[in-house]
Amino acid sequence: MLAVIPARGGSKGVPHKNIRDLDGKPLIAYTIEAAIKSKVFDKIVVSTDSSEIAEIAQRYGAEVPFIRPKDLSGDFSSSDDVVLHAIDYFKRKGKEFEYVCKLQPTSPLRNETHIMEAYRLLKDSNSNFVVSVCECEHSPLWTEILDEKRSLDGFINEYVKGACRQKLPKYYRLNGAIYMGRTEAFEDNKSFFGKNGTAFIMNQEESIDIDNYFDFEIAKLLIERNSCDENINGSL
């Protein structure tokens, strides 16, 4: 299986986000290390347009066999197109993979166990795709679009008005941590969302997806807490 970690250098919200320090190491290192520890990949490739990111990625054990083309490095470039580019690169080198996985570097709490379990689910369920999700923090039934007047008329429907939170149906959202599938199906669909896809459920804490400075602080607190828990358990 081919792992592709897309990591461009031009992050707008948090400059140099993918290599910003998080509790003592670059953000991207968490994803590279999890991929290596999972032992399910034949190749772990970082696709980047940045020589600095490339050097750091290689230092932590990933391959950077090419520098990503400019037309795949803009603000509106699709990460699925980045994966397709990596697949095509290896095809031209005579190397093909039965499965492909996209691991975004902004999910530092997604670990090797999650990757291994998602891969097992992909094979055992005979699915074309497995994509990670988590339960929504707040039910979308409590949400609505506001008009220019910010009117609340019809904001909550009658069913939701009288229901307690515990009785509302569970909703799940994409968490951005794992996108995995059969390479042939991905190439045909040009996306990890197609027929015969299965959700891999993660908890909310493990699903943090770093997009801004606040996310960094939350991730740091969680990583520090997990490290303390491991130290305590190890001393028992």
d(CA 157, CA 166): 17
pTM value?
0.90
Q: Mean pLDDT lowest for which of 21-25, 116-120, 150-154, 227-231?
A: 227-231
Instruction: Kindly report, residue by residue over 141-187, the tens digit of the pLDDT.
Output: 888 899 999 998 888 877 777 677 777 889 999 999 999 999 999 99
Instruction: Please provide residue 174's backbone torsions phi and psi, each rounded to the nearest 5 degrees.
Output: -65, 140
Cβ contact 222:109 at 8 Å:
yes
Q: Of these residues, 165, 173, 182, 225, which one is catalytic?
A: 165
Residue 156, Cβ neighbours under 10 Å: how many? 13
Rounded mean pLDDT, 181-197: 96
pLDDT band at 230; cut points 50, 70, 90: low
d(CA 18, CA 26): 7
Which 3 state secondary structure label does DSSP give 130?
Answer: strand
Exposed / middle / buried, residue 112 (Cβ in 10 Å: 0-12, 13-18, 19+): middle
Residue 153, Cβ neighbours under 10 Å: how many? 6
Task: Return the structure tokens found at 128.
Answer: 């074309």
pLDDT band at 233; cut points 50, 70, 90: low
The pLDDT value recorded for residue 189 is 95
Name beta bridge partners: 174: 133
**Residue ranges per structural domain of the chain:** 2-235
Q: Annotated catalytic, 8?
A: no
Residue 129 has pLDDT above 90, yes or no: yes
Query: Rounded mean pLDDT of the chain?
Result: 92
d(CA 62, CA 64): 7
Residue 135 has pLDDT above 70, yes or no: yes
Instruction: Kindly report, residue by residue over 82-115, the tens digit of the pLDDT.
Output: 999 999 999 999 999 999 999 999 999 999 999 9
The pLDDT value recorded for residue 19 is 96
Tell me the Cα Rg of the chain. Answer: 20
Return the CATH class of domain 2-235. Answer: alpha beta
Which 3 state secondary structure label does DSSP give 233?
Answer: helix
Rounded mean pLDDT, 76-84: 92
Q: Tell me which H or E stretch contains 103.
A: none
- Residue 210's contacts (CB-CB under 8 Å, 6 or more residues apart) are 14, 17, 27, 106, 107, 108, 216, 219
Instruction: Please provide residue 193's backbone torsions phi and psi, each rounded to the nearest 5 degrees.
Output: -115, 110
